[in-house]
Amino acid sequence: MPIQPNKRPEYKEGRTARTLGQSRWACPYSTLDLHRRCLWMGGWGDADMEQTA
C-alpha cells in the first residue's frame, strides 16, 4: 500500500496553517519529532506553492 502523506493530520494542519497566513516557523513539531515535522512542512509548502502560483 503506497504512503499518502496528504491523508495525515499533520499534513492537513500544515496546509491549514499556511492558508491562515502563518509562517513555517509556526510548526508545532520539533526536530525531535522529525517525521511529523516533515509532514507538517510538506502541507505548508504545498499550500504555499498553490498560493504563489
What are the per-10-residue average pLDDT scores of the chain (53 residues)? 85 97 96 95 96 81
- Cα angle: 47, vertex 36, 33; to 5 degrees: 140
| pLDDT in the model for residue 11 | 97
Q: What is the pTM of this model?
A: 0.90
Q: How far apart are CA 23 and CA 47, in angstroms?
A: 12
Question: Would you state the cell numbers that stand for residue 1, as one nine-digit string?
Answer: 500500500
| pLDDT in the model for residue 27 | 97
Q: How far apart are CA 43 and CA 29, in angstroms?
A: 13
